[in-house]
Amino acid sequence: MLAIRKVKAERGGISVDDVPVPELVHDTDVLVKVEAAGICGTDLLIYKWGDFARRMNLPTILGHEVSGVVEQVGSDVKGLRPGMRVSLESHLPCGVCYTCRRGWAHVCPHTRYPGVDFDGGFASFVVVPESVCWPVPQEVSPLQAAMMEPFGLAVHASLEGSGVSGLNVLISGCGPIGLMNVAAAKALGASKVIATDVHPLRLSAAAQLGADVCIDATDESVHDTVCSLLGERGVDVAIDYSGQAAALTATIKSITHGGELRLMGVPSHGISLNLEEWLFKGLVVRGLHGRRLFETWERSTSLLATGRVDLSSLVSHRLPLTATEDAFEMAISGQSLKILFEPNGSCV
């Protein structure tokens, strides 16, 4: 089968190779025939060979945002049978540490990731434990199912803390997950959703997904626009996907006293922020990572299956594995929304 592998410890350093179809190793393993698999920021970090990627043993097949159909199950698999469509959770927590036992498995410090720590889903087939397979109902298409892992981040960010229902929400940074968060926040009852970014393509997608106001942060002051809409009180909740100091500073200014800042975007290096403003405003700041296992999946599934959220418009490219180099360069350029590989040909 074809597979996209990171083979060299350098920028790029990936190749599309012919490798054997993987075999089940444990009795609890499942062989999944991949229908669609999305490129995400983590894959770009691996492509650029950022610090995070250096833990990898090469070669490794990339890809952790995956939908597919169960092809074969191990003898101890309990809830899956061949033919069922699944979407894959990308966090494989240890299950036994203090964090996991407190119910915080999504931030387990011993988490292993497909496509990083073991072979992932940019291939015709992938082997994963049953524990990370989420069965997907018929109403959710294979393309949408491949986006459930990132969509889960957006749903998680919308549900934590005071949630979004009846609140004014600022989404800072409209890459694919920020855009998914626009749709999730609207579907979960946010009052006004204000979206900011610097790419016109992303801002028009945000408007299409239901953002009430879109701010181009290149030439518009986020704080001034928020004030003109809501007065001095600002937004109740801001969710940051940018991980950039300048954007965070503008965002913090725009939050009401006693409001919430939820951090999703991972800064690429240390950034300095004025904590004084946080302190005097009495802001609640939450660091968020992953999705709750598996409460968030349940909520995400119902939003998609009922049609209250439709992520189809986010798919800007559907490509074969052989288009790897173009796909990665396009994702880095920001001139795309969600790029999905279809390793076994068109899945819809």
Q: What angle do CA 335, 336, 342 make, to 5 degrees?
A: 145
Q: Is 88 in the site for Zn ion (CB under 5 A)?
A: no
Q: Two tokens at 211?
A: 């953002």
Among 100, 133, 145, 347, binds Zn ion (CB under 5 A): 100
Q: Using CB under 5 A, which residues numbered 104 to 133 contact Zn ion?
A: 108, 110
Q: Per CB under 5 A, does 94 bind Zn ion?
A: yes
Chain centre to alpha carbon of residue 88: 12
Range in contact with Zn ion (rule: CB under 5 A) among 10-18, 70-78, 100-108, 205-213? 100-108
128-157 b/e (C-beta count within 10 Å ≥ 16 → b): bebebbbebeeebbbbbbbbbbbbbbbbbb
**Nearest residue (CB) to Zn ion, 72 versus 99:** 99
Tallying the residues shown for the chain, one arrives at: 348
Question: Smallest distance from the beta carbon of 198 to Zn ion, in angstroms?
Answer: 22
User: Which residues in the 11-70 window bind Zn ion by CB under 5 A?
Assistant: 40, 42
In the complex, the smallest distance separating the C-beta of residue 196 from Zn ion, rounded to whole angstroms, is: 22
Pairing of strands 60-61, 65-73: unpaired
Spatial separation of the C-alpha atoms in residues 108 and 90, rounded to whole Å: 12
Residue 97 near Zn ion by CB under 5 A: yes
CB of 343 to Zn ion, least distance (A): 17
How many angstroms from the chain centroid is the CA of residue 20?
29
Nearer to Zn ion, 156 or 253 (CB): 156
* 8 Å CB contact between 167 and 145: no
What element of type H or E holds 286?
strand 284-287
- Window of 71-79, 90-98, 209-217, 229-237 that interacts with Zn ion by CB under 5 A: 90-98
Would you say 257 or 289 has its CB closer to Zn ion?
289
Nearer to Zn ion among residue 97 and residue 330 (C-beta): 97
Which CB, 183 or 255, lies closer to Zn ion? 183
Compute the least distance from the CB of residue 10 to Zn ion, in Å.
22
Residue 266 touching Zn ion (CB under 5 A): no
Q: Between β-strands 315-319 and 338-341, what pairing exists: parallel, antiparallel or unpaired?
A: parallel
Pair of tokens at residue 45: 């970090």
Residue 337 lies near Zn ion (rule: CB under 5 A): no
Lookup: tokens for 283 = 């802001």
Token readout for 92 is 């494989």
Q: For residue 167, what are its two tokens? A: 């609140």
22, 63, 68, 93: residue in contact with Zn ion (rule CB under 5 A) = 93
> Cα–Cα distance between 253 and 240 in angstroms, integer?
13
Number of residues that bind Zn ion (CB under 5 A): 8
Q: Which is nearer to Zn ion, 98 or 280 (CB)?
A: 98
Nearest CB to Zn ion, comparing residues 108 and 222: 108
Residues that bind Zn ion (CB under 5 A): 40, 42, 93-94, 97, 100, 108, 110
